[in-house]
């Protein structure tokens, strides 16, 4: 790899200098051809002065042209003048003995005529060249003939070397790719036993899990050139450009072999062929065909390893995934609690931390977070500490940042009436009480009646450990917890005062019951059969389901079973809240007073009847009014800048 390349200048300055040079050359060219007209013209004088000099005998000879009179004085000085209509001029010259001659009008030369006629065409060609240059900017040579040049960028150590030490939380994926690193370091180790390294590795995972970082770490560990390009960089509006860029990319890779070529978002160019409306001859399919040939054609590309990344493996063409091309598919999952702790440790190295920060606690409270989510969490905590004027990032900032990322920013400026606040407090208290008394439910992390995002209040539950499957008892518990808010409104305010705040809870419970019946076989009447199938893999957390062919009676039975499961959760929540109505009042009024309670505070309040908070204040049963009385004035807790927090929601 040659590192002695000249530094690249600003392309705009470069173009401006080129065009300035062209304009200067044209001006010089015109001035050269135009100079004979003015060559030897001499000093300009008035016509009257010219006649006077003739009469004084100071003029030796003249040359008369229709538009100019030039001549020489007796002292050999040259002069010129512009004539006027003067029929007596020849007689005057004869009288004073001045030699004179006529001079034909000098027209433009042949080269001047050619220049004047070709100048518009030169300008048109220059403008077209400039437009094409801008359209194809960044494509290899970057000129008008650079359509087929690859847009792959060669990253070297100047761009920041990344190793496996910078990649945490995805140990299994890293181990699968270490074999590629060993091959790039010592190819003969595998060749001795007849083994062949995979030509391509496909990294599959959700957005933000670290696929690109992992590919850069492979190149950093092996110390080889690393070409990076996006799948969308191949396809242009002109047919054949993408295929030409693929060929040029592999030619560049061969010159730098052994090397790694990383194609990000390969699904942009590697989708199923024949799925569109075209006849299979469009630009994208030609590009894919060329990529297939280059990866496993007649000509071997030794020492070139293709690493691609996508979060849509279900749409890729089968020819890409066959052995000989992308032989190895490496799943890059969302990290578990151990992985999240390691990822947090990597990102926390760049942040000054307070002694109370515990990465394990933060990792436990962030299930389902990807590497990018955790990086964003650390950044939000650092920004929050800076806004508060702190020099160290403490655990309080991490908790606030976590709440902001998971639940949304607090909307303290939102004005709620007393009735709405009371309704929200009892709604969230209903969720919390059912969750506390359901053994299979996840423990409560925090409950709040401060509006966040689109919710007026929220009860957040976090699992004690990462869960990869759900049991029937937990599903029933989750449905009961979801129904707890609606039931609490009915128990406290009556049937006619129920609000629309439980819409998302009802949607969640219905979806869960439908999956239990149609996909997981958890209905005794319908048995362990699948009545809905997913259309493709889950994408960004969403998947489309479609009912399989069934009779009308079966469809009615499915709807009946779904209703039965949701009603069971509703009845279970009503039973618990009726039995523990005193705890419902206790918790609701405590939330009205303090707005936000942690899971430990809720547990202590329900067990001991009081809470001793960090600020030394104690909530006792005597200080909590009974249900139906006026709402207490919200106690002012310190806001993010040390000022009292706004009152109310």
543 belongs to an annotated ligand binding site: no
As a whole number of angstroms, the distance between CA 433 and CA 581 comes to 9
Q: Find out whether 96 and 55 touch, Cβ atoms under 8 Å.
A: yes
As a whole number of angstroms, the distance between CA 446 and CA 439 comes to 18
Q: Name the burial class of residue 625, with classes exposed (0-12), middle (13-18) and buried (19+) by CB atoms within 10 angstroms of its CB.
A: middle
Contacts of residue 439, defined as CB under 8 A and 6 or more positions apart, other chains included, come to 473, 477
Q: Name the burial class of residue 393, with classes exposed (0-12), middle (13-18) and buried (19+) by CB atoms within 10 angstroms of its CB.
A: buried
Listed residue (35, 36, 37) closest to 27, CA to CA: 35
Residue 28 corresponds to which tokens in the numbers above? 């010089």
494 belongs to an annotated ligand binding site: no
Listed residue (29, 57, 59) closest to 42, CA to CA: 59
Q: Find out whether 587 and 619 touch, Cβ atoms under 8 Å.
A: no
Q: Find out whether 371 and 210 touch, Cβ atoms under 8 Å.
A: yes
Q: Name the burial class of residue 335, with classes exposed (0-12), middle (13-18) and buried (19+) by CB atoms within 10 angstroms of its CB.
A: buried
Contacts of residue 209, defined as CB under 8 A and 6 or more positions apart, other chains included, come to 170, 332, 333, 334, 335, 370, 371, 372
The residue count for the chain: 649
As a whole number of angstroms, the distance between CA 402 and CA 598 comes to 14
| 428 in active site | yes
274 belongs to an annotated ligand binding site: no
Contacts of residue 648, defined as CB under 8 A and 6 or more positions apart, other chains included, come to 412, 415, 416, 421, 634
210 belongs to an annotated ligand binding site: yes
**In the 8-state DSSP scheme, what is residue 5?**
P
206 belongs to an annotated ligand binding site: yes
207 belongs to an annotated ligand binding site: yes
628 belongs to an annotated ligand binding site: no
Distance between alpha carbon 164 and the CA centroid of its chain, in Å?
A: 23
As a whole number of angstroms, the distance between CA 162 and CA 157 comes to 9
Q: Among the options 428, 438, 595, 601, which is catalytic?
A: 428
Contacts of residue 591, defined as CB under 8 A and 6 or more positions apart, other chains included, come to 425, 428, 429, 447, 448, 449, 597
DSSP states along 386-444 = HHTT-SSB-HHHHHHHHHHHHH--B-TT----HHHHHHHHHHHHHHHHHHHH-TTSPPE
As a whole number of angstroms, the distance between CA 369 and CA 375 comes to 10
**Binding site residues for Zn(2+), as ranges?**
427, 431, 505
- Residues that constitute the known binding site for ATP: 205-212
- Catalytic annotation, residues: 428
Binding site, annotated residues: 205-212, 427, 431, 505
């Amino acid at each position: 790899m040659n590192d002695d390349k000249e530094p690249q200048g600003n392309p705009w300055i470069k173009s401006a200098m080129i065009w300035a040079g062209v304009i200067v050359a044209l001006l010089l060219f015109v001035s050269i051809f135009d100079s004979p007209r003015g060559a030897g013209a001499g000093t300009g004088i008035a016509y009257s002065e010219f006649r006077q000099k003739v009469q004084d005998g100071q003029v030796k000879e003249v040359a008369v042209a229709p538009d100019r009179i030039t001549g020489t004085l007796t002292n050999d000085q040259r002069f010129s003048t512009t004539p006027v209509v003067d029929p007596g001029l020849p007689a005057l010259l004869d009288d004073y003995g001045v030699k004179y001659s006529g001079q034909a009008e000098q027209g433009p030369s042949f080269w001047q005529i050619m220049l004047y006629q070709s100048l518009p065409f030169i300008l048109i060609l220059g403008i077209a060249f400039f437009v094409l240059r801008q359209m194809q900017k960044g494509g290899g040579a970057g000129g008008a003939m650079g359509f087929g040049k690859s847009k792959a960028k060669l990253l070297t150590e100047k761009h920041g070397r990344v190793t496996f030490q910078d990649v945490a939380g995805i140990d299994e994926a890293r181990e699968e790719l270490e074999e590629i690193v060993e091959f790039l370091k010592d190819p003969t180790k595998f060749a001795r036993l007849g083994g062949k390294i995979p030509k391509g590795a496909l990294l599959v995972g959700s957005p933000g899990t670290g696929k690109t970082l992992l590919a850069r770490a492979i190149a950093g560990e092996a110390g080889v050139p690393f070409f990076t390009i996006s799948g969308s960089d191949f396809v242009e509006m002109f047919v054949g450009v993408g295929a030409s860029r693929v060929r040029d990319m592999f030619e560049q890779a061969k010159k730098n072999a052994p090397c790694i070529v990383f194609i990000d978002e390969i699904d942009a160019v590697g989708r199923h062929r024949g799925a569109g409306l075209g006849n299979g001859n469009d630009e994208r399919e030609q590009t894919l065909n060329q990529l297939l040939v280059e990866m496993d054609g007649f000509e071997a590309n030794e020492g070139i390893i293709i690493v691609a990344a996508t979060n849509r493996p279900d749409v890729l063409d089968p020819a890409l995934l066959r052995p000989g091309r992308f032989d190895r598919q490496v799943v890059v999952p969302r990290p578990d609690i151990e992985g999240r702790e390691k990822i947090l440790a990597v990102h926390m190295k760049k942040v000054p931390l307070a002694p109370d920060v515990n990465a394990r606690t933060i990792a436990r409270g962030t299930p389902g977070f990807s590497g990018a989510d955790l990086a964003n969490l650390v950044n939000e905590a650092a920004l929050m500490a800076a806004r508060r004027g702190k020099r160290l990032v403490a655990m309080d900032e991490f908790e606030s940042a976590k709440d902001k990322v998971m639940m949304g920013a607090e909307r303290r400026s939102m004005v709620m009436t007393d009735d709405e606040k009371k309704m929200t407090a009892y709604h969230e208290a209903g969720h919390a009480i059912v969750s506390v008394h359901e053994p299979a439910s996840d423990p409560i992390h925090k409950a709040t009646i401060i509006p966040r995002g689109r919710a007026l209040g929220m009860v957040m539950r976090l699992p004690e450990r990462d869960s990869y499957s759900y049991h029937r008892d937990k599903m029933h518990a989750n449905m009961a917890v979801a129904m707890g808010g609606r039931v609490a409104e009915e128990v406290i305010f009556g049937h006619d005062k129920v609000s629309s705040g439980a819409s998302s809870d009802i949607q969640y419970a219905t979806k869960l019951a439908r999956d239990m019946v149609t996909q997981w076989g958890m209905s005794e009447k319908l048995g362990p059969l699948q009545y809905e199938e997913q259309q493709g893999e889950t994408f960004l957390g969403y998947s489309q389901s479609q009912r399989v062919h069934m009779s009308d009676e079966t469809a009615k039975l499915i709807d009946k079973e779904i209703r039965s499961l949701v009603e069971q959760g509703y009845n279970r929540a009503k039973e618990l809240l009726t039995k523990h109505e005193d705890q419902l009042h206790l918790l609701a009024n405590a939330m009205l007073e303090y707005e936000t309670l942690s899971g430990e505070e809720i547990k202590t309040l329900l067990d001991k009847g009081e809470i001793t908070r960090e600020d030394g204040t104690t909530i006792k049963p005597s200080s909590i009014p009974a249900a139906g009385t006026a709402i207490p004035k919200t106690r002012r807790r310190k806001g993010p800048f040390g000022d009292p927090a706004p009152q109310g929601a």
